Chain A
Amino acid sequence: MIATPSSLRGTRFWFLCLALIASACVVPALVSGQKNRLKKSDRAEKTVDMVWPLPPDKPRVRYLGSLTGSTDVQPPRKKGWLTKLINEEEIQRVIGLGRPAGIAIDSKGRIYVADTFRGAVFIFDLEKKTLDFIGADGRGKLANPYGIAIDSKDNVYVSDTKLKRVNVYDVAGNLTGSITKIGAETIENPAGVAIDAPGNRLLIADSRGHKIFAADLTQLGRGVSFGKAGEGDDEFHFPNSVAVDHQRRIYVTDMMNFCIKVFDKDFKFLRRIGEHGTGFGMFDRPKGVALDSQDHIYVVDSSFSNFQIFNPDGQLMLFVGGFGLQPGLFRLPSGIHIDGRDRIYVSDQVNSRVQIFQFLGT
């Protein structure tokens, strides 16, 4: 059994050393086991692995596995004597994630990962064991894809901080449109995006325009904007990401005001969560934000290398992560997404992987 639920510092150093030694022995086996389990889909297993919090507290989050690239869908072929004899060239090409940022899931359960290093979106289909790409070349080629969202028709919206636009792709991956302006207002630097399905809107965090756009999806280019630069309730300072809960409340990571701001669907300010600092429930580099089925709020912090979980009232429930290479730890995490089955996907940029966790319920 292994569990690594905390930040790593100071008096925990020796504990950490022990944990490292233990993990060196256990983790490789654990990881491969977890990957298999993930592919076997929802079958419940009794294996105890990494959970948060540690016993005797009731576990709420479990580590499921990580995505790193093409090897997740194409397990390396066993080299029999025959294969060795026949081909040297048919060795599979391996494409790894570079610096993953935004994550989204379509109606078929495929996992889309915007990769700012590869300049493309990876599409992992763990059922069919395929890996596809959007924006790798051609008309819809991406430069620095950061945020990603998918609507109910599986149209894919990808923000690109270099091209300064949100590209729209159909389910087949063809570029069907592009959003650079809402009305007369130019989107300066589109970062995180989210779908407000009932409102048929795409919310776009304009990190350098210090505002949130609500783009009308029935007519590209129409919509409204909200906010301006500042520290007030209705203002933002480099807003990074945006998410929508089941009551259509809007959550904005106001990165350089070091908090999450919550609004109703009409952008009426409701409350702030967090402040600047290193304590529990505080933020230093808040980035991705997402909600589970019970509207718990998950916030990734690049500086703390973790994500913190708040209840709908803004109280801190738990945090997962810390700085490091092992599963359950992160280096410069950025995006987060939670699917309909309460699986939590976190992009672990410098470790070049997406870590997947399961929210186990309260």
Chain B
Amino acid sequence: MKRNKFLLVIVMLALSGYAYGQFAGDGSKNTIVGTKHDLHATFSGGTAVCEYCHVPHKFNSLTTQPPLLWNVQVKPGPFATYSSPSFDGAANIRDPSTASSTSGASYMSLLCLSCHDGTITQASFYQITSAMGGSGSTTPPIIGESGGAGLQNDHPVDFTYSVALATTDGGLKQPTEGASVRIPYVGSPALPLFKDQPTDVSGRLECATCHNPHNATNGKFLRMANSGSSLCLNCHGV
């Protein structure tokens, strides 16, 4: 009996680990300092580390809100920014305006792309490899898609990685998903997939599925070492 209780605690702890986002690449080595994401190292005397990605909600601390001189009707308030899906609680992961959109790029990958656009570091969601003369389309490519055949540029992100997708594809590992799974995942070690809304069943593949921006241990902020393409095969390979 005692033993059973002990096991139960272990199991619950393990489950809560998943519930709180313990995935490959998470853990005690999480640190920005000294990595390429440590932007305060650009110059000596810099002090901030976190704020380049995590905006302080300073508006709360202001005693007087700046007025909108042309718009007296609007109450000053915070602007919505990109948010984190590992945020606790039932907060909406995306802005509700995109919840019904099948092409809505998620906030979290856009946070990455707001710097990885060529100005701070190499553009990560660009480039069409064929010349302009190719058969074009007004449908914009999804983020990361190369625009041509194969992976000539980037891996796509911001799409739903569901059991159905894996079944249809035939070459992808089945994700663990469900309404009660707070953060769905795929592979072993587990890579996280991110829900659009807390009630969703399936998660989406985002930049943070393969990258942990807080941990540069594996190089390129990868969640796991990619020797022998092990990271790739964690999804591609059944």
A→B interface (CB under 8 Å): 5-9, 13, 16-17, 20, 52-54, 56-58, 60, 68-71, 93-99, 101, 116-120, 133, 136-137, 143-144, 146, 161-162, 189, 191, 207-208, 210, 228-231, 235, 237-238, 240, 255-256, 275-282, 284-285, 287, 301-306, 309, 311, 315-319, 322-326, 329, 331-332, 334, 349-352, 362
Total CB contacts across the A-B interface at under 8 A:
250
Residues of B within 8 A of A13 (CB): 96
* Most chain B C-beta atoms within 10 Å of own C-beta, residue among A60, A162, A306: A162
A133 contacts B97, CB within 8 Å?
A: no
B114 contacts A6, CB within 8 Å?
A: no
* Most chain B C-beta atoms within 10 Å of own C-beta, residue among A97, A116, A279, A326: A279
Closest to A240 in B: B119
Closest to A13 in B: B96
A119 contacts B138, CB within 8 Å?
A: no
**Cβ-based interface call for B221 (8 A):** no
**Cβ-based interface call for B42 (8 A):** yes
Closest to A135 in B: B132
Residues of A within 8 A of B65 (CB): 279-280
**Cβ-based interface call for B192 (8 A):** no
A332 contacts B71, CB within 8 Å?
A: no
Measured CA separation A139–B130 after assembly (Å): 16
Measured CA separation A98–B56 after assembly (Å): 32
**Cβ-based interface call for B76 (8 A):** yes
B→A interface (CB under 8 Å): 39, 42-43, 45-46, 51-52, 55-59, 62, 65-74, 76-82, 95-98, 100-101, 103-105, 107, 110-111, 113-115, 117-120, 122-123, 125-128, 131-132, 135-141, 143, 147
Residues of A within 8 A of B77 (CB): 7, 9, 279-280
B79 contacts A278, CB within 8 Å?
A: yes
Assuming the A-B contacts A116-B123, A278-B58, are A94 and B136 also in contact, with contact meaning beta carbons closer than 8 angstroms in the complex?
yes
Closest to B115 in A: A285
Residue in contact with B114 in the complex, picked from A8, A56, A281, A303, CB distance below 8 Å: A303
B128 contacts A118, CB within 8 Å?
A: yes
The prevalent SS among residues of B at the interface is loop
Closest to A61 in B: B70
A279 contacts B78, CB within 8 Å?
A: yes
Residues of A within 8 A of B100 (CB): 20
Residues of B within 8 A of A350 (CB): 105, 110, 113, 140, 143
A98 contacts B80, CB within 8 Å?
A: no
B132 contacts A137, CB within 8 Å?
A: yes
The prevalent SS among residues of A at the interface is loop
A162 contacts B135, CB within 8 Å?
A: no
A208 contacts B120, CB within 8 Å?
A: yes
Measured CA separation A5–B141 after assembly (Å): 28
Residue in contact with B97 in the complex, picked from A8, A99, A334, CB distance below 8 Å: A8
Cross-chain pairs A/B with CB under 8 angstroms, 12 sampled = A20-B97, A53-B74, A118-B132, A136-B132, A161-B122, A231-B46, A278-B58, A278-B79, A279-B59, A323-B107, A324-B97, A326-B97
